[in-house]
Amino acid sequence: MKVFVAADNIISPLGFSSSENFENLKQMKSGIQFFQTSEFSVEPIHLGIVDQNKMEDAFKKLNAKQEYTKLEKLSILSIQNALEENKNIDIKNSKTLIVFSSTKGNIDLLQADLKTKFSKKKLFLWETAQTIASFFGNPNKPFVVSNACISGVIALILAKRLLSENKYENIVVVGVDILSHFVVSGFQSFKAVSNEIAKPYDVERTGISLGEAAGTIILTNQQKNVQDKLAITINGGASSNDANHISGPSRTGDGLLLAIEKALIESNLKPAEIDFISGHGTATSFNDEMEALAITDAHLQTVPMNSLKSYFGHTLGAAGIIESIVTLESMRNNTIIGTYNFKTLGTSKPVKIAAKTEQAQLNNCLKTAAGFGGCNAAIVFSKNG
C-alpha cells in the first residue's frame, strides 16, 4: 500500500510555513544568529531561535483554554498549519494517529523560573504527546519516538509502516525540540559547539550550531486525501545501530551504510536512481567523515548532497522532520538548496556537496540521519509514477 505526503509545515527561525522557509533557503539565508549574551549560554554563541513574539501572537489566535509550554505551542501551531493546508484530513477521526518525535521534550521546565508553573508530569514525553493529542480531540493514544537525532526520520518510518499495514488512514507526524540552557551546556561540555555558524563537510568545520524548530508531515494511504497534483510517496526506510560509542559514530560508516542499503532495497531502487541526498551534516569531524564513507560505500558519491544544519542549526528531534520537508519542497520545485558556509570539501572521500542552490530533476531522494548511541536512519521519497 502506497503512503503519500498529504501536507506539511515548518516553524523555524526562517519562517512559520514550509514555503516561507524554502524561499529563504533558496536565497541561502541562514536563520542562525550571534548572541553575545543569552539565557542559553554563559558564553557568546551562535543559535537558531524561533521568533517568540510571532509564536505567541499566532498561538493566541487558537483561543486555547489552558496554559501550554513553549514546546507544546510550537507543536500545536505546526500541526494546525499543516491541517489548514489539507482540509481532507480529519484529526478527530479514529483512523488518524499522532506520532510525536522529540529528544528532550519540555526539558526547559527544569529551570527554576518554570518549575512551579507546570506539572512535573509534563517532563514525560508521553504526557506532552497526550497533551497535544487532547488539544486536537484526537481519540487515539499517540505514539512517541525518541531516539537521539534520528528521532524525526524514525517517526516517519514508523508512520509509513503503520499506514502500509492499513492500521490507520492518516498519521500526523510532528517533530519538535527547543533550546534551553540544559541542552546548550550539554553540547558545550562535549566541546562540540562551534564559535561560528556551522560549516558542514568543510575542511575548516569546527563543530555544530544548535537550533530549535517544529515540523509536521501528514501522511496518508488514501490517495483521495492528497491535494497536491505532484504526489510524493515514502518508498522505504530503515534504521541501524553501529554500537560504536555513547556519542561518537562508527569510524567506518558501516551502520549508516546498512540503513541506506536497506532503505534502497525496500524502495526497489538502485543507487543510480537516487537524484539527491539530504545529509545529516552536523559539521563535526567524525560525523561528516562517517557520512562520506557510508555514502561512498553505498555508491552514491556522485549524487548531489547538502546539509541544512548551517541554516537552522541542529534541531535534534525536529531535524529529521524539517529536513525531510525541505527535501519534499526541493522535489516539488526541482531545486537543490546549496550548503551554507561550505567552501572546500573536508572529508577523505570525494562526496558531491552542493555549494550553491541549483536546478535539477528530482524524482527519488534520500534523507539520512545519525545520532548518539550509534543510531542511524535513512528514508527514500519518490514522486508517484
What the block records as the C-alpha cell of 271 is 543507487
User: What letter does residue 280 receive in the DSSP assignment?
Assistant: -
What pLDDT score does 116 carry?
83
Which residues share a beta bridge with 144?
100
Report pLDDT digits (tens) over 88-135: 999 999 999 999 999 999 999 998 888 788 999 999 999 999 999 999
* DSSP H or E segment with residue 21: helix 18-26
CA distance 85 to 371: 31
Q: What b-and-e string marks burial along 152-163, b requiring 16 or more CB atoms within 10 Å of the CB?
A: bbbbbbbbbebb
What pLDDT score does 238 carry?
98
How many Cβ atoms are within 10 Å of 24's Cβ, its own excluded?
18
Asked if 372 and 192 touch (Cβ cutoff 8 Å), the reply is no
Give burial (CB, 10 Å; 0-12/13-18/19+) of 42.
exposed
Q: What is the residue-averaged pLDDT of the chain?
A: 96
Query: Collapsing DSSP states into helix, strand and coil, what is residue 306?
Result: strand
Asked if 177 and 169 touch (Cβ cutoff 8 Å), the reply is no
Give burial (CB, 10 Å; 0-12/13-18/19+) of 311.
buried
How many Cβ atoms are within 10 Å of 296's Cβ, its own excluded?
18
Nearest to 172 by CA among 212, 205, 208, 142: 142
Q: How far is CA 123 from CA 104, 119, 187, 250, 264, in A?
A: 9, 8, 20, 31, 37
What pLDDT score does 245 carry?
80
CA distance 205 to 197: 9
What pLDDT score does 114 carry?
85
User: What letter does residue 301 receive in the DSSP assignment?
Assistant: T
- What's the one-letter identity of residue 173? V
Q: What is the mean pLDDT of each run of 10 residues along the chain (385 residues)?
A: 97 98 98 96 96 98 96 98 97 98 95 86 97 98 97 98 98 98 93 96 97 98 88 97 82 95 98 98 96 98 98 98 98 98 98 98 98 95 84
What the block records as the C-alpha cell of 286 is 567524525
Give the CA radius of gyration of the chain.
19
Phi, psi of 6 (to 5 degrees): -100, -30
Q: Write the DSSP string, 71-106.
A: HHHHHHHHHHHHHHH-TT--TTSTTEEEEEE-SSSS
Under 8 Å CB-to-CB from 39, ≥6 apart: which residues?
181
CA distance 78 to 74: 6
Look at strands 210-211 and 232-241 and give their pairing.
unpaired
Report pLDDT digits (tens) over 59-85: 999 999 999 999 999 999 999 999 999
Strands of the 305-306 sheet, one edge to the other? 143-145, 96-101, 170-177, 213-220, 4-11, 232-241, 375-383, 364-371, 276-278, 305-306
What pLDDT score does 385 carry?
52
